[in-house]
Amino acid sequence: MTDLLKPHFSWLFFLGTVVFLLLFYSLLLFLQRQVHQLPVALKFRDRLSNKLRSILLLYDLIFIVTTASVFILLNPIWHGLVILFLVSITFPLMRNYMIGRFLCFDPEFQQGKRITVGKDTGVINKMNRLGIYVITNNGMKYINYMILQERGFSLLTDSLMQEYCDLNINARDQGNSNLSAEMLLYKLMGVPYLDSEYRPTLIANSSDAQFQIRVLIRKGNHRQELIDLIKDWGYDCQLSH
């Protein structure tokens, strides 16, 4: 029993653990940003991207649990009391965070999806660790994850709202400079199916004229019209799933 109360690690080991976990987190973020540049099949890139996304969703929790465990073992009695105190005063935030992590594991629950919470209906514009920002007809509204759990929510599949879409686009004639990413973005800014207040964003651009672009489509479910128009410009286009 007395051995359990003795220090098991040094402060140097604790700092080394923190630095290692932060460096590994940076590596995962780098891989997630670069995965769409890999010269591999689109399905493999999407599968790898989803795996990295799942790991990153849990990484905060892994980091906190690991560092807290090592911190306690530095001085089990006093550090254990400190951690217990911190948990007691931050429990509502921790509960909100955990609810959000579990919700984000659903691939349908993501930025750009249409959602109804109570009397509010809109498009998920941003997501963070404690809640979501929803664009409604009355402006931007912040909703934390505990409210989503308590009130319930519905993800809409109709065409009554605007919709974010990620487009995977390949230039058929890769040697044609008029089919570059810059030219494509310029053309998209004048497309009537897209919301003019949201500038099309280049997410990924590989050396073999493959682009991934995020757009905000106007109300009315114009996805197929947009894809057909892009194909008429000399590109192959499909939605990213």
**CATH code assigned at 213:** 3.30.70
The answer to whether residue 80 is domain-embedded is no
Q: What's the CA gap between 226 and 216, in Å, rounded? A: 11
Q: What's the CA gap between 180 and 112, in Å, rounded? A: 26
Q: What pTM does this model have?
A: 0.58
pLDDT at 5 over 60: no
pLDDT in tens, 97-106: 888 888 888 7
Based on the domain organization, do 176 and 199 belong to the same domain?
yes
Domain end residue (candidates: 26, 44, 74): 74
Token code pair at residue 34: 């670069």
The answer to whether residue 129 is domain-embedded is yes
Q: What's the CA gap between 113 and 155, in Å, rounded? A: 7
Q: What is the CA radius of gyration of the chain?
A: 23
pLDDT at 237 over 70: yes
Domain end residue (candidates: 123, 156, 189): 156
pLDDT in tens, 123-163: 887 888 888 888 777 778 888 888 888 888 887 765 555 66
Number of separate domains in the chain: 3
Strand, coil or helix: 140? strand
- Reported as type and span, the H/E element at residue 204 is strand 201-205
Which residue segment(s) compose the domain that 43 sits in? Answer: 2-74
| 74 residue type, one letter | L
Based on the domain organization, do 145 and 123 belong to the same domain?
yes
